[in-house]
Structure 1
Amino acid sequence: MHSAVLLIEFGAIILALGLLGRVAGRFQFSPIPLYLLAGLAFGTGGVLPLGASEEFVAIGAEIGVILLLLMLGLEYTASDLVSNLKTQYPAGIVDCALNAVPGAAAALLMGWGPVAAVVLAGVTWISSSGVIAKVLGDLGRLGNRETPVILSILVLEDLAMAVYLPIITALLAGVGWAAGGLTLAIALGAAGLVLFVAVRYGRLISRFVSSDDPEKLLLVVLGLTILVAGIAQQLQVSAAVGAFLVGIALSGEAAEGAHTLLAPLRDLFAAVFFVFFGLHTDPASIPPVLLPALALAVVTACTKIATGYWAARRAGISVKGRWRAGGALVARGEFSIVIAGLAVSAGIEPSLGPLATAYVLILVVAGPLTARFVEPVAAFVSGLSRHRDDQGRTQERPPADRPEERAPAAEPLTSEVIDVD
């Protein structure tokens, strides 16, 4: 009987997610907010709380995080990452300073303590690579000059996750400075080792993994990823970081084939992950934090636009491209929820989960709209400003065809010349 109820509940969840995905596709926006709302509806305090399938959904959610980071790692080669680190690291520093500080400050102002401040800093810092990539594709901007700048910032954020997640894991576990430093050293050492191996021996690794049989390729890549993620978690390093490093190590045909095969699985389990996060958030806890979440969303939307504008200006992009780069970076999504989910599981601050949910819901909806309209809005405002300046200059300098408004200096100069003659 228990297995039958589990199948019914899980089947209903998957069916509902599929229908919600269709609705989002019909109106051309990200389905993430709908998945979060579905989790709120099925969770504690929701319309139809689930019981039997919650443990199964939790496992699916963990696999979803692993696949999200694996697929992200597959997007980049080790040489791309090294190149981005060398050329775009100032943009990464500005990005961290402008967008992490508001989250940390908000947590401290609300009296949540330093650990929650570090967590909320990550929530407000990291943009949603998935949402941004989809928006750029939908708007036909993948070939624009500002797009490499956007992708560079996203890559640097993803690399920062390899350092940030172990720090968060250690802080949430309450370990001491020695254990925390050891965890960070292991994470940095693992990341450096993987990058070195990927640069020097990436072709050999890809050749070992690659297979003409899609079934064998899928099993090897998925098994390797979950194995490395489990080892990373056993070493007190985030499983998501381990999956990300596996993705970086693969390249060429192996990466392309794995990306094609794993994309549907990624979408399935990522949707389950967002539902699982919503299951652990009581809808009644969101209204009290809605205003802080809205204020934080407005502030960090502006700081993300400033980040993209500055980075694009540094790269020599035109003014329109600078605004487009800034607007594209506004969306938050999967990474913010991943970071908040770690804190919720550790029971750090009860209001952190609802605040992160409301924050992501606001920006995952506003992000695509900002990407689409920030450049024309900026052009319109700039046009109004130029028009007012032109009007002001016109009023200060009257037309010269009216005799009483001509410059008086012309007549004395003419008279003086006549007198000389």
Structure 2
Amino acid sequence: MDHLVFEVGTALVLVAIGSIIANKLKFSIIPFLIILGMLVGPHAPHFGIIDLRFIESNDIIQFLGRIGVLFLLFYLGLEFSVGKLAKSGKNIVVGGSIYVAINFILGLAYGFIAGMPWMETLIIAGLLSVSSSAIVAKVLVDLKRTANPETELILGIILFDDIFLALFLTTMSGVLLAGSTSALGIITSVLISVGYMLLFFIIARKGAPLLNKWLNIKSDEIFIIVIFAILFFVAGFSETLHVAEAIGALLLGLVFSETEHRDRIEHLVVPFRDFFGAVFFFSFGLSIDPSTLADAIWLALGAAFVTIIGNFVAGMISGRKAGLSHKASTSIGLTIMARGEFSIIVANLGITAGLNSILTPFTALYVLILAIIGPVMTKESKTIYKYLNKVFKWTKEKEKKKIEVPEG
């Protein structure tokens, strides 16, 4: 037991070091933790007396990572409410639909061209379609762009993308985890998943007064115990219906978002989300065999290129339809390009269901590339816009004002 505790403690120290380094460099912790996991996990390099494979308690770390997924999606549910989309406005709905449609269709086409089976193609299309809310939000704050005219639309597209993620994961978990092969079985699994989701929507809208009364607990200690007990129970129960446990967490978060206790829950959950979320990225790195990355490098590079083009086009169309300038529209496409936690969650669904093992190294490389390139391209969006403006001539140079010479 002491040895086990020491190994887990060592893993957490490494997670802490990676997080500190990322913070010092003002960069997302996601790529750092994934790479760190690869370097010290069961597939880590070893030669002679040097052996970096000192994280052997992979099962424990993986379990902590699963808890991280629950907290990530539970928090996402808290941030989203059924009424929020209704108030978000036409531009957000239109922009979000354009963004999801372009990326998902490109993902389907890419998976088909790459010769993937149709289930793997759907997973690839899904993970290509979901941006990283965490990275996008951090970049906007770090670059002090929260007051920019395009920021509201960016956040709206991210919100719409999160809703798509919930629908996609719910549908795919019904298909993959139920193990249905016939058309009738697949339709039944999807209907069960969608019905389960609709049940939570109804509870969110109609059950808030009762939940407000039940959760009116003065002690923070007892309050958080009750919230966590419900969270883990709902997540576990969801799996018995062949709905991914993460989706159960997301739907529960959505229910709590409609109560008057939302802010209190969010305040208490954030530290757990950050801690276990970091372990999740580290644990994903532990599952990757660096020797398999070469098999997926061209597939990942191609997907990253497709995503860059798709996001730029989607951002430009969404921004222009919302009446924003070409410069602001360029910024939209570059800002929402980063991929991270949600792409990994989508891939993990396919991996858990026993789909092609190439999904693991492919997703790792794909996320690493865009988690690094995305924030850099966002930071240099003005420079990129100036270059593109010279090519496409979106705006003409202002005429120089004539200097009037006063008469003598």
Q: What is the distance in 1 between the residues matched to 2:90 and 2:396?
A: 42
Q: Tell me by how many angstroms 1:318 deviates.
A: 2.7
Pair 1:389–1:80, CA change in 2 (3 A): closer
**Between 326-335 and 193-202, the greater mean CA deviation after superposition:** 193-202
Q: Residues 99 and 124 of structure 1 are in contact (CA less than 8 Å); yes or no, is this contact kept in structure 2?
A: yes
Pair 1:151–1:211, CA change in 2 (3 A): farther
Pair 1:344–1:386, CA change in 2 (3 A): closer
Q: Deviations over 1:4-62 (max 9, x none)?
A: 22111110111111111111011111010011111211333213235642121121111
User: Residue 61 in 1 paired to residue 65 in 2?
Assistant: yes
Q: Aligned residue for 1:276?
A: 283
Q: What is the distance in 1 between the residues matched to 2:395 and 2:141?
A: 37
More helix by share: 1
Aligned length: 389
Pair 1:368–1:286, CA change in 2 (3 A): same
Kindly report which structure 2 residues correspond to 1:170-319, keeping only aligned pairs within 5 A, or say none.
170-173=174-177, 174-176=179-181, 177-251=183-257, 253-319=260-326
Q: Tell me by how many angstroms 1:383 deviates.
A: 5.0
TM-score if structure 2 supplies the norm length?
0.88
Q: Deviations over 1:179-207 (max 9, x none)?
A: 33223222222322322332344354244
Q: Tell me by how many angstroms 1:365 deviates.
A: 0.7
Pair 1:42–1:171, CA change in 2 (3 A): farther
Q: Tell me by how many angstroms 1:140 deviates.
A: 2.0
Q: Tell me by how many angstroms 1:386 deviates.
A: 5.4
Q: Aligned residue for 1:109?
A: 113
Q: Residues 97 and 160 of structure 2 are in contact (CA less than 8 Å); yes or no, is this contact kept in structure 1?
A: no
Q: Aligned residue for 2:11?
A: 13
User: Residue 166 in 1 paired to residue 170 in 2?
Assistant: yes
Q: Tell me by how many angstroms 1:347 deviates.
A: 2.9
Q: What is the distance in 1 between the residues matched to 2:261 and 2:162?
A: 21
Identity between Structure 1 and Structure 2 (%)? 30
Cα RMSD, aligned residues only: 2.5
Q: Deviations over 1:210-245 (max 9, x none)?
A: 434222222122221111111111111111111111
Of 15, 20, 23, the match for 1:22: 20
Of 359, 365, 373, the match for 1:366: 373
Q: Residues 123 and 339 of structure 1 are in contact (CA less than 8 Å); yes or no, is this contact kept in structure 2?
A: yes
Local SS of the residue matching 2:21: helix
Q: Aligned residue for 1:78?
A: 82
Given residue 103 of structure 2, which amino acid in structure 1 is its aligned partner?
A: N
Of 348, 355, 360, the match for 2:362: 355
Q: What is the distance in 2 between the residues matched to 1:182 and 1:313?
A: 41
Q: Aligned residue for 1:403?
A: none
User: Residue 131 in 1 paired to residue 135 in 2?
Assistant: yes
Pair 1:53–1:378, CA change in 2 (3 A): same
Q: Residues 91 and 153 of structure 2 are in contact (CA less than 8 Å); yes or no, is this contact kept in structure 1?
A: no
Q: Indicate the structure (1 or 2) with the bigger Cα radius of gyration.
A: 1
Local SS of the residue matching 1:286: helix
User: Residue 142 in 1 paired to residue 142 in 2?
Assistant: no
Q: Residues 77 and 250 of structure 2 are in contact (CA less than 8 Å); yes or no, is this contact kept in structure 1?
A: yes
Q: Residues 333 and 364 of structure 1 are in contact (CA less than 8 Å); yes or no, is this contact kept in structure 2?
A: yes
Structure 1: segments with no counterpart, 5+ residues: 391-421
Local SS of the residue matching 1:49: coil
